[in-house]
Amino acid sequence: MPHGAVADPDEGQVDQLYAETRQLRLQGFLLFLVSDVVLFSSFIFAYLYLRNTLPAWPPPGINRLDVGFAAFNSVVLFGSGVTMHYALESWKHGKFARYANFLIATIVLGAAFLAGQGYEYTNLYMREHVSWSGSGAFGASFFTLTGMHGFHVFVGVCYLTVLLLQSCAGVYTKEKYFGLTAGTLYWHFVDVIWVVLFSIFYLI
Amino acid sequence: MAENRQAVGFGRGFWIATAVLTVVAAGSVYFWYTLPISNALPEAILTARQIDDLFRFMAAVGSALYVFIFGYIVYFAIAFRAKKGDDPNAIGVQVHDNVRLEVLWTILPALFVVLLSIISVKIWYEITLQPANGLVVEAIGHKWYYTFRYPQVHGEITDEMHVPLGVPVTLNVTSSDVIHSFWVPAMRLKTDMVPGMVTTIRFTPVRPGRYQIICTQFCGTQHAEMNKQVFVIEDRPAYDAWFHSWQAKNANASDAVATASTGTVALAGGDAKAGQATFQAKCSACHAIGPYSQRLVGPGLKDVLHDPSHPSLVDGDAATPANVAKILQQGYKGDMGQMPSAQMNAIGDKDIANLVAYLNSLK
Amino acid sequence: MAVQAAHAGGGIADHIHPEPQGFIRRYVFSIDHKIIGIQYMITGFVFFILSGLLAETIRVQLMNHAGGFVSNDTYNEVYTVHGSAMVWLVIIPIVTGGFGNFVMPLQIGARDVAFPWLNMLSFWMFPVAGLLLFSSFLVGAPVAGWTEYPPISLEGGVGTSMWCAAIFLIGVSSTLTGINFIVTIMQMRAPGMTFTRMPLFVWAQLATAPLSMVATTALAAALAALFIERQFGVPFYDPTKGGSPVLWQHMFWFYSHPAVYIMVLPVFGIVSEILPTFSRKPIFGYKMIAFSSMAIALVGFMVWAHHMFTSGLAPYLQLPFMILTYVVAVPTGVKIFSWLATLWGGKIHLTTAMLFALGFLALFTLGGITGIFLAAIPYDLHIHGTYFVVGHFHYVLVGGSLTGIFAGIYYWFPKMSGRMMNETLGKWNFALFFIGFNGTFLPMHWLGILGMPRWVPQYDPQFEFWNRFASVSSFVMTFGILLFFVNVIWSLRNGKKAGANPWGARTLEWQLPSPPHYYNFKHIPNVYGLPYDFSLPLPYKGLDEELTDSPAPVPAGSH
Ligand code: HEA
Ligand code: HEA
Ligand code: CUA
Ligand SMILES: [Cu+2]
């Protein structure tokens, strides 16, 4: 909670100021993620609802999605979660080079995941003739949800790149790195959503 | 504070006001219980009476409650108003809460909620669990009219609804385009007509007459004009005569093909040209005129009757005109999804004959 | 309870930026919560006048059973835009963005909301969304009602897609405001202002904000799907392509039922401030009022299918929705009874603000009770989709939310503008509004029961008398509302100077000059107790300098 009055903040107070601003931003950012979860949940609800109206899933004429490739691609994404974790830890311990390596690895893995997804989409469309608007509820829900997730990954990759540049430019210090915390949280969030999507589209 | 409390208390004025409000509230209860609702709006089915009773109950309790709340607002505003000569800094009684009162006004409404739940669940059961063994009617909403089918009679679609007095009716409703609804105010009953979905309601007419059917779901430009009448016919012989004239009309049809459970569809004289038009209107959203594998929702239908590689239909029967007619009549829910029944597609026997002729003409 | 001592440490609360100079930065792209709040209100009232005029178009059309004033299609456009605009561009922005922004930070002793820039961004989405919605008239506005049920909403031109985009935009704005408010209330209260010392208006905002955040996001998903389906043919709702129209109804009502509480909870808060002030009495049952807001918000998420009793849901699914809907009556009743008890034994000053607050009590309660009729499935099967529903929701929305908004304006206008509003005009405003309102919407209940459906530009001749009665009454109400605008404009120039605390109210905003300084507080006060104890000294410390004319301190070295 904010405290009483002083007109002229000195160094120590500036630090406290940072701490409190960080607290605000963190809470705001977490709430943003919550509302994003609600957005995904609503689409997931729609998917389950539509799926439930059909006797067979996937509907005849459409093959089951290829779990093998998607599992591989998932591992790529989860791997990027691990590297992101280490990136932040390294930063906290002041190991800048290690941090940079891990962050670059995260970005590369994220991009690889997107490439994998692109490959999967192309495959579905060219070989299996499954499309967004022409395959009933199946195409609609699959492409909308995974597409939304892919868009989040894309935004994440861009954001992490910005963070990388920012940290090279010295925007963050060992003590003040809210942007990095937010980036990490966001990246883990994207991972968790993928766990759910993977289970409901490929496993059940 | 103490002296303040004495100054107001539950004084005489309060009790007088309460007495007056009690009388008014009692009057309002009496009013609702004696209101002759059925004079303004007849109670045409068995359960209409109970629904009106539920209304009386809610209206009586609600208005009695409201009389007190509104009355106290007015009374307090007047009795406790700051008067001309008062000290401008005078303040009211400084009470913060009163646990007993608060518990009371949580518990009492909660009890009422329990009571109301019990009553409404009970009535709800009676509405839903009407006997299912009587007449079956299918109603279909269109922009902006209703059509009806009598599966037990077979035959074409009528645009009138006739039901005999005292016989339980099972009404299946659906729509051929957008959501409509089926409301008969005199029956206190309504259900939406949702495309792609059949909803069932049951009722037993107990009062002869002619009642309005009204669409209450917005369905386009002429939503307001979408209404029709339902005839509850007391004269059983007259009803049977009407019923049989339908049957007779359809029995005349020759070349009847037996279908599994619903009876017969006359296929002869099907007009392929008319069938093509119907197909464009009703079927092309789900079916392409292309090979079996060209799937929209259902399979492509170009060679449904002439493809050696698909000798049987989706339901396993041989690919013959009669069996296609059966699928069109009854619908079929298979792996690809739901092929709607004739009712849901809003097509009559004539349309079926035309469609089969059309499909047969494709090579 | 021990009170936290003020300790030296420059928190963000004291991180003061100098007031920006220049009209644009100050009044247009302002980041000051007070200015933003007023911007919300002004914009909201502009849209109110527009959608009110649309409502009068409805009433003129219905003067005659054969209609004849506008064509059927125009009529459909008119009520669709009327309903959508009233809900999303009038009530919700005014009660959250408007009152929430102006009043809430002042009441918790903060200098601004947590994210002022975000606040400005949220605001600017609002007029843009409004323009988008109203300009759809140029290309053919949506016609399928504010609920836009598919499949009919899949038909038609680009107007419905503009509707989707507009509502999506205002939804994002609402979500961001919700986040902003939650963080503000959780983090930025003045020292000593514990949860049990927060003014009830703040509690109401705290109950509303999660609704704005969560429910609105669900609506965003539904709207996005509708937009995608309309524009790209991706099947979500179209039954002929494998979608389900009922899916939309679930997603829409999962938002729109909580939305009705977004529209009314802040108004509960407004009333909870006005009643104690003008009764000179502590609010009765503070904790129960605060708690019941939370309970209503929570249960509000579990009742959405009461709008769908005729949609062919599985029967076993319907009953829990009916019973949970009944349950909402209990916490709402707790509020109503506590407000009544607040009046009892008070020293009641019947100012216009108080009259509107009492009007709110009377009208909202009636609307709530008719809500119970609708919740009872057996009876809803009769009255769903009729004018009974229209009667119900205008009682809670106009009689409840709008009346509460008027109460709030009459109450806080002096704080916002520094001038009093005219009481004589105010009382005429109230009387005409109250009488006209009841005359307009009460008859709708029996019209509905006797068989008049909604959404109709023509109707059965037997209903003509009461429709004319309603229309004429609505003209009376319109005139009453006109007096409100006259009063505002007149008072801005000619009103008596208000001074800091014309009502003798005790919440923090009234301890500041009217209008408050850019920084709100020269020093953030310490809070010792509830703001409603008229017999005790004010529970604040550190306010001594607020009403002197010395400028607020600008910290050296601040950017
Ligand atoms: C909070 C929301 C709100 C408010 C305030 C109102 C206000 C009013 N509403 Fe509305 N209404 C809805 C929300 C609201 N409504 C919704 C959600 C629907 C459902 C729509 C749907 O089905 O899709 C609906 C539908 C609806 C219908 C049913 C239409 C139908 O189903 O066919 C009717 C019919 O009478 C109606 C009437 C009115 C009237 C007479 C007012 C009056 O109270 C309006 C009074 C206000 C004014 C008249 C403006 C006054 C100001 C001036 C004129 C002053 C001018 C001043 C200057 C220029 C300075 N409304
Ligand atoms: C501010 C907005 C608002 C509020 C607060 C409410 C509050 C309530 N509403 Fe309403 N409602 C709407 C706005 C609102 N509604 C709108 C806009 C629609 C129509 C949408 C459309 O179709 O276009 C609608 C439609 C609507 C329906 C659907 C009708 C239909 O389409 O068939 C139902 C059904 O259950 C319903 C019920 C209720 C109930 C039970 C409450 C309860 O919260 C009310 C609780 C309050 C009280 C009960 C009064 C005070 C309590 C006491 C004094 C205690 C004692 C009382 C008892 C024990 C009964 N409402
Ligand atoms: Cu059909 Cu309205
Ligand atoms: Cu609701």
DSSP C262-280: HHHHHHHHHHHHHHHHHHT
The residue ranges of every structural domain in chain C are: 2-541
- For domain B272-360, the CATH superfamily is Cytochrome c-like domain (1.10.760.10)
**Chain C environment of A30 (Cβ under 8 Å):** none
Residues C130-151, mean pLDDT to the nearest whole number: 92
Nearest atom of ligand 1 to the alpha carbon of C86:
2
Residue B80 has pLDDT above 90, yes or no: no
pLDDT recorded at residue B91: 79
The number of C-beta contacts closer than 8 angstroms across A and C is 168
> Which is it for the CA torsion C393, C397, C403, C407, positive or negative?
positive
Q: Which residues surround ligand 4, an ion (CB under 5 A)?
A: C 257
Residue B258 has pLDDT above 70, yes or no: no
pLDDT band at C303 (very low <50, low <70, confident <90, very high): very high
Contacts of C among chains (3+ CB pairs under 8 A) = A, B
Residues C127-149, mean pLDDT to the nearest whole number: 93
pLDDT recorded at residue C559: 38
Residue B251 has pLDDT above 60, yes or no: no
**Chain B environment of C467 (Cβ under 8 Å):** none
Let me know: does C456 contact B224? Beta carbons within 8 Å: yes
CATH of domain C2-541: 1.20.210.10
Q: Measure C441 CA to ligand 4 centroid, in angstroms.
A: 19
In the predicted model, what is the mean pLDDT of chain B? 82
Q: Please state, in angstroms and rounded to a whole number, the distance separating the CA atoms of residues B150 and B139.
A: 9
Chain C touched by A6 (CB under 8 Å): yes
Q: Measure C388 CA to ligand 2 centroid, in angstroms.
A: 12
Tokens of B236: 């059983």
The residue ranges of every structural domain in chain A are: 77-204
pLDDT band at B174 (very low <50, low <70, confident <90, very high): confident
- Nearest ligand atom owner, CA of C62: 1
pLDDT band at C354 (very low <50, low <70, confident <90, very high): very high
pLDDT band at C367 (very low <50, low <70, confident <90, very high): very high
Lowest mean pLDDT among A168-182, B152-166, B348-362, C514-528: B152-166
Q: Do C14 and A9 touch (CB under 8 A)?
A: yes
* E strand segments, B207-362: 209-214, 227-233, 256-259, 263-266, 332-334, 337-339
Lowest mean pLDDT among B5-14, B30-39, C238-247, C276-285: B5-14
Q: For B330-347, what is each residue's pLDDT tens digit?
A: 888 766 667 877 766 767
Tokens of C208: 């509303």
Using most ligand atoms within 8 A of CB, pick from C77, C86, C478 the residue to mutate for ligand 1.
Answer: C86
Residues C43-54, mean pLDDT to the nearest whole number: 96
Residue C95 has pLDDT above 90, yes or no: yes
User: Minimal CA–CA distance to C175: which of A25, A153, A36?
Assistant: A36
Radius of gyration of chain B, Cα coordinates, nearest whole angstrom:
31
**What phi, psi does C19 have (nearest 5°)?**
-65, 130
Q: For A41-66, what is each residue's pLDDT tens digit?
A: 999 999 999 888 776 777 766 778 88
Q: Give how far the C-alpha of residue C499 lies from the chain's centroid of Cα atoms, to the nearest Å.
A: 28
Tokens of B98: 């009163």
pLDDT recorded at residue C205: 95
pLDDT recorded at residue B249: 61
Chain C touched by A199 (CB under 8 Å): no
Long-range contacts of the stretch C58-64 (C-beta < 8 A, 24+): C58/C82, C59/C440, C59/C470, C59/C471, C59/C474, C59/C475, C60/C471, C61/C457, C62/C457, C62/C459, C62/C467, C62/C470, C62/C471, C63/C467, C63/C468, C63/C471, C64/C464
Tokens of C89: 């561009």
Interface subset of C 193-232, CB within 8 angstroms of B: none
Q: For C388-439, what is each residue's pLDDT tens digit?
A: 999 999 999 999 999 999 999 999 999 999 999 999 999 999 999 999 999 9
Residue C280 has pLDDT above 60, yes or no: yes
Residue A131 has pLDDT above 90, yes or no: no
Decide whether any atom of ligand 2 lies within 6 Å of the B70 Cβ.
no
pLDDT recorded at residue B244: 75
Nearest atom of ligand 1 to the alpha carbon of C80:
23
Alpha-carbon distance C20 to nearest alpha carbon in chain B (angstroms):
40
Decide whether any atom of ligand 1 lies within 6 Å of the C75 Cβ.
no
- Closest C-alpha to ligand 3, atom 1: B180
Work out the angle at residue B192's Cα, subtended by the Cα atoms of residues B187 and B197, and round it to the nearest 5 degrees. 130
Position with higher pLDDT, C549 vs B55: B55
pLDDT band at C243 (very low <50, low <70, confident <90, very high): confident
Interface subset of C 318-337, CB within 8 angstroms of B: 319, 322-323, 326-327, 329-330, 333-334, 336-337
Let me know: does C260 contact C224? Beta carbons within 8 Å: no
How far the first Cα of chain A sits from its last, in Å, is: 47
Query: Under the phi-then-psi rule, with left for phi > 0, alpha for psi from -120 to 50, and beta for the rest, what region is C22?
Result: left
Residues C325-338, mean pLDDT to the nearest whole number: 94
Alpha-carbon distance C234 to nearest alpha carbon in chain B (angstroms):
13
Decide whether any atom of ligand 3 lies within 6 Å of the B217 Cβ.
yes
Q: Please state, in angstroms and rounded to a whole number, the distance separating the CA atoms of residues C524 and B65.
A: 46
Q: Measure C397 CA to ligand 1 centroid, in angstroms.
A: 10
**Chain A environment of C254 (Cβ under 8 Å):** 42
- Nearest ligand atom owner, CA of B195: 3
Tell me the whole-structure pTM to 2 decimals: 0.88
For residue B83, the 8-state DSSP code is P
Residue B288 has pLDDT above 50, yes or no: yes
Site of tokens 């309903």 = C83
Neighbours of C5 (CB within 10 A): 11
Q: Measure C82 CA to ligand 1 centroid, in angstroms.
A: 6
**Chain C environment of A32 (Cβ under 8 Å):** 179
pLDDT recorded at residue C521: 85
pLDDT band at C25 (very low <50, low <70, confident <90, very high): confident
Q: Do C555 and A7 touch (CB under 8 A)?
A: yes
Residues B42-70, mean pLDDT to the nearest whole number: 94
pLDDT recorded at residue C408: 96
Q: Do A2 and C110 touch (CB under 8 A)?
A: yes
CA nearest to C247 within chain A: A46
Residues C305-311, mean pLDDT to the nearest whole number: 93
**Chain C environment of B191 (Cβ under 8 Å):** 310, 312, 381
Neighbours of B129 (CB within 10 A): 10
Q: Do C344 and B51 touch (CB under 8 A)?
A: no
pLDDT recorded at residue B317: 79
Q: Please state, in angstroms and rounded to a whole number, the distance separating the CA atoms of residues B278 and B287.
A: 13
Task: Look at domain B135-249 and name its CATH class.
Answer: mainly beta
Lowest mean pLDDT among B114-118, B259-263, C544-548: B259-263
Residue B308 has pLDDT above 80, yes or no: no
Of all residues in chain B, what percent carry a pLDDT higher than 70? Answer: 86
Let me know: does C237 contact C221? Beta carbons within 8 Å: no
Alpha-carbon distance C142 to nearest alpha carbon in chain A (angstroms):
23
pLDDT recorded at residue C13: 46
Residue C188 has pLDDT above 70, yes or no: yes
Residues C483-503, mean pLDDT to the nearest whole number: 92
In the predicted model, what is the mean pLDDT of chain C? 89
Of all residues in chain C, what percent carry a pLDDT higher than 90? Answer: 69
- Closest C-alpha to ligand 2, atom 50: C333
pLDDT recorded at residue C98: 95
Decide whether any atom of ligand 3 lies within 6 Å of the B14 Cβ.
no
Lowest mean pLDDT among A7-16, B116-125, B302-311, B350-359: A7-16
pLDDT recorded at residue B300: 80
Q: Do B335 and A60 touch (CB under 8 A)?
A: yes
Q: Do B297 and C241 touch (CB under 8 A)?
A: yes
- For domain A77-204, the CATH superfamily is Cytochrome c oxidase, subunit III, four-helix bundle (1.20.120.80)
Position with higher pLDDT, A96 vs C434: C434
pLDDT band at A144 (very low <50, low <70, confident <90, very high): very high
Residue C338 has pLDDT above 90, yes or no: yes
| Reported ipTM | 0.89
Nearest atom of ligand 3 to the alpha carbon of B141:
1
pLDDT band at C500 (very low <50, low <70, confident <90, very high): confident
- Closest C-alpha to ligand 1, atom 48: C52
